[in-house]
Copies of this chain bind each other. A is one copy, B any other.
C-alpha cells in the first residue's frame, strides 16, 4: 500500500513531486526480450506534455525520459526498468500566495491533515505531473502487448457530447486535431468552447472514451480483481476523474435483460456488445470500451475566497498557467493506464492452466 505501486506482475512504482528534482519510476516484471522503440515512448510523453497546443497550459516542460536500467542494447532484460524525468520547474519562485492557503477543491487541505507537512510549491505529489511516469510505463506495456490496440479519445467537453459509440467513429482521426476528438466537426466546436472558457478565466470538465481491440479471451480474474474493476480503479486513480462506466454503463441499468443480453455467434463472438468485452470479469474477445468522466480543473483564473492553515479567510488570486480543460492531455494517460491493466492480466493468464 501507500499507493505508489500499480500492478502485480508488471509492477510500476512512481515517485516525484511537481517541484522536486525529478519524477520517475521503476517497472518491475517487464518480460525479457522485448525490443523497445524508445522514440515511441517519448512520443507518448509528448502527447501528454504541457505547451503542446493552444488549448493546454502554456508551461514549458520538455519531459524527456532517461532510462537508468533494465534495457540492454535496446532490449528489455527482465530486470527492473528505472527511469526519471527531470523537472524543469523547480527554480525557486514566489509561492507565498499558496504556501499557507488551501486552494478550493485541491488536495492542499487533505494532504496537510494527513501528513502534517507538504511541498507547497504547486501540487506536490497530488499534481497531475505524476501521470508522466505512468505514460512512460504504459508506453512500454503497449509495446509488450503489440497485438492489442488502445485507442482513447475525447468524447465530451463540458456540455458538448460526441454522442456516438466507438464503432461509429474513425478513431484514426483522433490525433488530427488538438482536442483529440475523432469527429473533426465536433472537435472544432469543442476547441472553440475551451478557448471561450479560458477567456473567462474558467475551466471545464469532459469525457475521455477508450476502445481496446485485439484482446485475447480469458484476461481477468474472478471475484475482486475483475478486469473491469481494475480498469475502473486505474481510471479513477487519474487526477480529476469522477466516474467510470464500461459497456452499457449507467444507461445499461435502465434496460431489461432481454434487451441487454449479448447473443452468441457460433464462433463465440457476440452479435451485440453491451457487455463491453468483459463477462464475469473476464475478457471475451470483443472490444473493451469505457467512458471516464473528468471534473473541471480546480485552479481557475478568478479570485476565490478560501482559508489559510489557521482558519482565517483569505482571498486567493487566480494566476499561473493552467489547463482550461484537462481531457486532451488525458487521452494518452487513459491509454497508458489501460495498457498497464491489460499487461498485468496478460502475464497472469500465463499461469492459470496446468
Could you list 11 examples of A-B contacts with CB < 8 Å?
Answer: A4-B28, A4-B223, A15-B68, A17-B77, A21-B69, A75-B117, A106-B280, A158-B254, A242-B252, A252-B296, A260-B296
Which residues of chain B have C-beta atoms less than 8 A from A124's C-beta? 72, 77, 79
A9 at the interface (CB under 8 A from B): yes
Given contact pairs A116-B353, A260-B105, A207 touches B268 in the complex (Cβ within 8 A): no
Residues A268 and B80 in contact, CB atoms below 8 Å apart: no
Which residues of chain B have C-beta atoms less than 8 A from A312's C-beta? 266
Which residues of chain B have C-beta atoms less than 8 A from A191's C-beta? none
Cα distance A246–B15 when bound, in Å? 27
Among A20, A82, A111, A302, chain B packs the most CB atoms within 10 A around the CB of: A82
Mark the stretch among A54-62, A177-185, A229-237 that contacts chain B: A229-237
A107 at the interface (CB under 8 A from B): yes
Residues B282 and A32 in contact, CB atoms below 8 Å apart: no
Among A25, A256, A266, chain B packs the most CB atoms within 10 A around the CB of: A256
Which residues of chain B have C-beta atoms less than 8 A from A258's C-beta? 202-203, 300, 302
A213 at the interface (CB under 8 A from B): no
For residue A202, give the distance in angstroms from its CB to the closest CB of chain B: 5
Residues B352 and A31 in contact, CB atoms below 8 Å apart: yes
Which residues of chain B have C-beta atoms less than 8 A from A300's C-beta? 257-258, 261
Given contact pairs A119-B77, A266-B312, A268-B307, A242 touches B250 in the complex (Cβ within 8 A): yes
- Chain copies in the assembled complex: 4
Residues A125 and B243 in contact, CB atoms below 8 Å apart: no
B-facing residues in A1-45 (Cβ within 8 Å): 1-6, 8-9, 11, 13-17, 20-26, 28-29, 31-34
Among A69, A117, A119, chain B packs the most CB atoms within 10 A around the CB of: A69
Cα distance A198–B168 when bound, in Å? 34
A47 at the interface (CB under 8 A from B): no
A249 at the interface (CB under 8 A from B): yes
Residues B67 and A21 in contact, CB atoms below 8 Å apart: yes
Residues A243 and B242 in contact, CB atoms below 8 Å apart: no
Residues A279 and B107 in contact, CB atoms below 8 Å apart: yes
Residues A257 and B206 in contact, CB atoms below 8 Å apart: no
A113 at the interface (CB under 8 A from B): yes
For residue A305, give the distance in angstroms from its CB to the closest CB of chain B: 6
Apart from A5-B11, A34-B354, A113-B268, list 9 A-B contacts with CB within 8 A. A1-B9, A4-B222, A13-B26, A24-B68, A72-B124, A78-B117, A105-B257, A110-B278, A230-B233
For residue A123, give the distance in angstroms from its CB to the closest CB of chain B: 8
Which residues of chain B have C-beta atoms less than 8 A from A279's C-beta? 105-107, 109-110
Given contact pairs A205-B254, A296-B256, A84 touches B84 in the complex (Cβ within 8 A): yes
A299 at the interface (CB under 8 A from B): yes
Which residues of chain B have C-beta atoms less than 8 A from A9's C-beta? 1-2, 351
Q: Which residue of B lies closest to A12 (CB)?
A: B224
Which residues of chain B have C-beta atoms less than 8 A from A242's C-beta? 245-250, 252-253, 276
For residue A139, give the distance in angstroms from its CB to the closest CB of chain B: 16
For residue A133, give the distance in angstroms from its CB to the closest CB of chain B: 9
Residues B223 and A3 in contact, CB atoms below 8 Å apart: yes
Which residues of chain B have C-beta atoms less than 8 A from A261's C-beta? 104-105, 298, 300, 304
